[in-house]
Amino acid sequence: MTGEQIREAMIDIIQGLLEDDDTNLFRLQDDVSICDQLDLDSMDFLHIILELRKRHGITVPEEDFMKLSRMKGCIKYLVPLLKDK
């Protein structure tokens, strides 16, 4: 997967979590915490991590959770793990 594909996959996961929210997720800023931008709590963030594992078979160790707190970090962290998918 490319960086843009990972961004779209993350947006899809977050959209599923937000359900009826009409927030334009394509406007997420890459360098700002996803949780801060969308007013998500730690349980919401954990659901995002778990959905990554479910959809893509990726296990993210707890010590790496903060690397996924911003979209830029998600892309940087996930590109090597998903490069062949």
Q: Does residue 7 carry a pLDDT above 90?
A: yes
Which pLDDT band holds residue 17 (cuts at 50, 70, 90)? confident
Q: Does residue 21 carry a pLDDT above 80?
A: no
- In angstroms, the CA 12 to CA 51 distance is 10
CATH fit for domain 3-82, picks 2.160.20.10, 3.40.50.2300, 3.30.470.20, 1.10.1200.10: 1.10.1200.10
- In angstroms, the CA 76 to CA 26 distance is 18
Helices in 1-85 by DSSP H: which ranges?
3-18, 34-38, 42-56, 71-82
Question: What is the tens place of the pLDDT at every residue in 27-52?
Answer: 889 999 999 999 899 999 999 999 99
**Whole-prediction pTM value?**
0.86
Hey, what are 42's tokens? 């730690």
- In angstroms, the CA 44 to CA 52 distance is 13
Mean pLDDT, rounded, for 3-10 = 93
Q: Are residues 45 and 69 in contact, defined by beta-carbon separation less than 8 angstroms?
A: yes
